[in-house]
Amino acid sequence: MKFFPPVFLFSLFLLFISCGHISKINEEPAPTFTAIKGIKYTEVKRRFNNGLSFTDQGFQLEPEWNIYFNADDSVRIFSPEKKQYMTYRIFHSHKALFQFAREWFRVKHVSKDSLIFQVMELESRAVIEDLSTITMTLYSDDYIKNVLKTTAEKLKAPSKEDSLFIKYRAIQANSDPDSAFAARNPVKMTSKSKITRVEKIMPSLDPYLGHVNRSEEYLYPEYRINIDKAYQDFQYSFSVIVDHNGRMHFKQFLVAVEPEFIETKTKVARGIIDVYLRNTLDIIPGNTLGFPHSSVISLHVIGRKP
């Protein structure tokens, strides 16, 4: 009797699983959009598998697409920047999967009233099911207006489940600084002193972050603060937690600091917060869905001696 080593048997087992997975995909029919050609749809809901549109870190899925299919191999998507519909080619894979606008999708439902797509994650043309956790729902403009008799804006509003989740996360963040999360409406700071100037840094101006999608800018709030008439010249870059009362708490430096200087520089940074920032700035804490909560922001503070 021929003996097969355990490693070979395990590899064979994985191969069978993989083949079965791909076969299952191939058994699904290839999507067709002929029956809905020319019908305009508006995305009204984008959710994770748990039914929420928010993550623990504060990232929000937002419905944003307006589309219509003009053929089985092309789709037109409205571009808010260019104020017109742009044509995208549709590419098919594994029959049930298709790609356009650099995203892979699986059709869950197609009708003249609505579309439901699952956003897919692929690696080397293999589906990663554990990461394919987002579902998009689109309604036809006619269905929204004449059947539901409402507006797309109302349908896009966060759900009650979203509101309850964010309320829970806000309670967590306000009792434990380590639970702070990105605020959908970031911290606002204005100067109440002639010696302090505040500038919010846009992603395109920041050499450290690289490219950041404008729609995700709220995840990376960053500010440049100039202090005139400081006790000496200094320049520090650090992050702070702004709690739900608008008070700043030092978190960490944004650039590496030699271990022997950490304690000294941390004392200086906290002194800058206590002496200058708390006394010369009006700070409104970040909030999400109307709930103020602790969030992290990045600061570049520059002091100039008179």
Does position 216 have pLDDT exceeding 80, yes or no? yes
Does position 221 have pLDDT exceeding 80, yes or no? yes
β-pairing verdict for 103-110 and 97-100: antiparallel
- Single out the residue of 283, 284, 289, 282 nearest to residue 184, CA to CA: 289
As a whole number, mean pLDDT of residues 13-39 equals 61
Q: What is the mean pLDDT of the chain?
A: 86
Contacts of 288 (CB under 8 A, 6+ apart): 54, 58, 166, 169, 170, 181, 183, 184, 185
As a whole number, mean pLDDT of residues 19-41 equals 69
pTM here? 0.82
pLDDT of res. 21? 45
Tens digit of each residue's pLDDT (9 = 90 or more) over 67-79: 999 988 899 999 9
Specify the fold of 29-157. Lipocalin (2.40.128)
CA 25/CA 31 separation, integer angstroms: 12
pLDDT of res. 73? 86
Beta carbons of 196 and 225 less than 8 angstroms apart? yes
Tens digit of each residue's pLDDT (9 = 90 or more) over 264-292: 999 999 999 999 999 999 999 999 999 99
Report percent pLDDT > 90 for the chain.
68
Does position 176 have pLDDT exceeding 90, yes or no? yes
Question: Which pLDDT band, with edges at 50, 70 and 90, does 45 fall under?
Answer: very high
Q: How is the chain split into domains, by residue range?
A: 29-157, 176-304
pLDDT of res. 2? 40
